[in-house]
């Protein structure tokens, strides 16, 4: 296997055999001419089932995670929806993180619960709590690491052991780390989920998702549901995602560099009461993070002294950091999880602190980002 950056630029992306086009074309077509009623020219028949631009993206995504199979979806949530339906039946149970991505929690709590799939939310840094939550009906352990927005770390290899002992599968939502920083399948996970909307796309211009696995039977189910339910990305979305992926390795290095600089500034600031970043030696799971991640990513969260009002005031005053949901783009974003991304967890076990801010540290000059935060903190 070639190196990561080489795979990101070339996997699934050979020059077009007909024209020599170095870049994979945007195959904007819904259907493909056939040579006979059962004769397909290039293996394609109808673009919900498969499209060459999407196929290039799927090959590349699999290569990035060191896997055999990749499937692309219209969003990260569409990927999660298909994974839940591929692995669970009414009466089954899943274990999820107690600070899961808000949309994932909503899908599981508000949609799948109505279809008879139960869940238990536990802090996955606590392996005993995960083991205790397993039931005979548990089919899936759903892991996010680092988590959103508190950046806790779960031990992927240990969770795989717990899941497999109970006859369940482990899915890792690898959106925050990206395959550049962490490859869960190599640590024993059964399937990786991505919101490619974030770092993989990397430019805040496209929504997408992916499921990646080495399990041929699971991939077959995923492909069946991808085609049956049809939440596929269009060719332009697949192309934008592929273009973003080409620079993933260099972008992640700079995201990490800038995040480290900002963490140091926040830690020293009197208006900040705590900083959450897995690269800090004081982070409770730093050793696990150092074992399974190459570096620690571009996401940082912190609590502001003075409660929700003080946190909201900081959000209102940054100029380089844009107040917006989402993450993983070239531009820096700031948000207030309790009122924005995680509003749906209010009043539940997954509720986040009102004084918490989340930063998606982008690729601007670190000095400008630091000056902006210092001015907003006053
Ligand atoms: C954004 C996100 C999702 C959902 O992906 P969409 O592309 O918005 O549907 C899932 N998990 C994590 C960790 C995310 O950040």
pLDDT in tens, 203-238: 999 999 999 999 999 999 999 999 999 999 999 999
**Residue nearest (by alpha carbon) to ligand 1 atom 4:** 76
Q: Give the pLDDT band (50/70/90) at residue 102.
A: confident
Domain ranges of the chain: 4-245, 250-377
Q: pLDDT for 51-101, tens place per residue?
A: 999 999 999 999 999 999 999 999 999 999 999 999 999 999 999 999 888
Pocket perturbation via mutation, ligand 1, pick of 196, 198, 207, 301 by most ligand atoms within 8 A of CB = 198
For residue 366, is pLDDT > 90? yes
Q: What is the pLDDT of residue 116?
A: 98
Q: pLDDT for 162-195, tens place per residue?
A: 999 999 999 999 999 999 999 999 999 999 999 9
Q: How far is the CA of 145 from the centre of ligand 1 (A)?
A: 13
Out of 2.60.40.420, 3.40.50.800, 3.40.640.10, 3.30.565.10, the CATH code matching 4-245 is 3.40.640.10
For residue 39, is pLDDT > 80? no
Which residues form ligand 1's pocket by a CB distance below 6 Å? 75-77, 101, 103-104, 144, 148, 173, 175-176, 195, 197-198, 207, 209
Is omega for the bond preceding 146 within 30 degrees of 0, making it cis?
yes
Q: How far is the CA of 76 from the centre of ligand 1 (A)?
A: 5
Catalytically annotated residue among 7, 81, 85, 101: 101
Q: How far is the CA of 143 from the centre of ligand 1 (A)?
A: 13
Q: pLDDT for 276-292, tens place per residue?
A: 999 999 999 999 999 99
Q: What is the pLDDT of residue 229?
A: 97
For residue 270, is pLDDT > 80? yes
Nearest atom, ligand 1, residue 148 CA: 13
Q: What is the pLDDT of residue 152?
A: 95
46 is catalytic: no
State the DSSP string of 36-104. ETTEESSS-SBTTT--HHHHHHHHHHHHHTT-SEEEEESSHHHHHHHHHHHH--TT-EEEEETT--HHH
Percent of the chain with pLDDT over 90: 91
**Residue nearest (by alpha carbon) to ligand 1 atom 2:** 195
For residues 218 and 366, give the distance between their C-alpha atoms in angstroms, rounded to a whole number: 43
Q: How far is the CA of 195 from the centre of ligand 1 (A)?
A: 5
Catalytically annotated residue among 71, 85, 198, 358: 198
Between the alpha carbon of residue 224 and those of residues 59, 111, 188, 217, 220, the distances in Å are 17, 21, 24, 11, 6
- Please report how many Cα atoms fall inside a 13 Å half-sphere around the Cα of residue 66, on the Cβ side: 17
**Residue nearest (by alpha carbon) to ligand 1 atom 6:** 76
199 is catalytic: no
Nearest atom, ligand 1, residue 176 CA: 13
Q: What is the pLDDT of residue 201?
A: 98
Domain 250-377 belongs to what topology?
3.90.1150
Q: What is the pLDDT of residue 320?
A: 98
For residues 128 and 162, give the distance between their C-alpha atoms in angstroms, rounded to a whole number: 9
Pocket perturbation via mutation, ligand 1, pick of 77, 202, 208 by most ligand atoms within 8 A of CB = 77
Q: Give the pLDDT band (50/70/90) at residue 265.
A: very high
Q: How far is the CA of 52 from the centre of ligand 1 (A)?
A: 25
Catalytically annotated residue among 81, 92, 99, 173: 173
For residues 304 and 264, give the distance between their C-alpha atoms in angstroms, rounded to a whole number: 15
Q: How far is the CA of 77 from the centre of ligand 1 (A)?
A: 6
101 is catalytic: yes
Nearest atom, ligand 1, residue 79 CA: 9
Q: What is the pLDDT of residue 245?
A: 98
**Predicted model pTM:** 0.96
277 is catalytic: no
Supply the mean pLDDT for the chain.
Answer: 96
Between the alpha carbon of residue 349 and those of residues 68, 97, 339, 345, 356, the distances in Å are 37, 11, 16, 8, 16
Q: What is the pLDDT of residue 40?
A: 72
Q: How far is the CA of 139 from the centre of ligand 1 (A)?
A: 22
Q: pLDDT for 16-27, tens place per residue?
A: 988 999 999 999
SS3 164: helix
């Amino acid at each position: 296997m070639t190196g990561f950056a080489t795979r990101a630029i070339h996997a699934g992306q050979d020059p077009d055999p007909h024209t020599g086009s170095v870049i994979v074309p945007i195959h904007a077509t819904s259907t493909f001419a056939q040579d006979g009623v059962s004769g397909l020219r290039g293996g394609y028949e109808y673009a919900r089932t498969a499209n060459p631009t999407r196929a290039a993206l799927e090959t590349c995504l699999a290569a990035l995670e060191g896997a055999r199979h990749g499937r692309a979806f219209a969003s990260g949530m569409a990927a999660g929806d298909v994974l839940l339906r591929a692995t669970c039946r009414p009466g089954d149970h899943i274990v999820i993180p107690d600070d899961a991505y808000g949309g994932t929690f909503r899908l599981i709590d508000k949609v799948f619960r109505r279809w008879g799939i139960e869940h238990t939310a536990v802090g996955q840094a606590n392996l005993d709590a995960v083991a205790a939550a397993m039931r005979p009906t548990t089919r899936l352990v759903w892991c996010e690491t680092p988590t959103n927005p508190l950046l806790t770390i779960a031990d992927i290899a240990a969770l795989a052991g717990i899941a497999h002992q109970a006859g369940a599968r482990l899915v890792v939502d690898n959106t925050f780390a990206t395959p550049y920083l962490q490859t869960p399948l190599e640590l024993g996970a059964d399937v990786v989920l991505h919101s490619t909307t974030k770092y993989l796309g990397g430019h805040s211009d496209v929504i997408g998702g992916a499921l990646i696995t080495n399990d041929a039977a699971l991939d077959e189910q995923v492909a069946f549901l991808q085609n049956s339910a049809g939440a596929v990305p269009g060719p332009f979305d697949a192309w934008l995602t592929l273009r973003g992926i080409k620079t993933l390795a260099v972008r992640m290095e700079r995201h990490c560099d800038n995040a480290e600089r900002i963490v140091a500034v926040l830690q020293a600031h009197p208006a900040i009461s705590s900083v959450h970043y897995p690269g800090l030696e004081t982070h409770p799971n730093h050793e696990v993070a150092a074992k399974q991640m190459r570096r620690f990513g571009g996401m940082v969260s912190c609590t502001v002294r003075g409660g929700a009002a003080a946190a909201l005031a900081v959000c209102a005053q940054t100029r380089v950091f844009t107040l917006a949901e989402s993450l993983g783009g070239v531009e820096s974003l700031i948000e207030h999880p309790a009122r924005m991304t995680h509003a749906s967890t209010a009043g539940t076990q997954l509720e986040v602190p009102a004084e918490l801010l989340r930063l998606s540290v982008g690729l601007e000059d670190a000095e400008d980002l630091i000056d902006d935060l210092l001015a907003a903190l006053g």
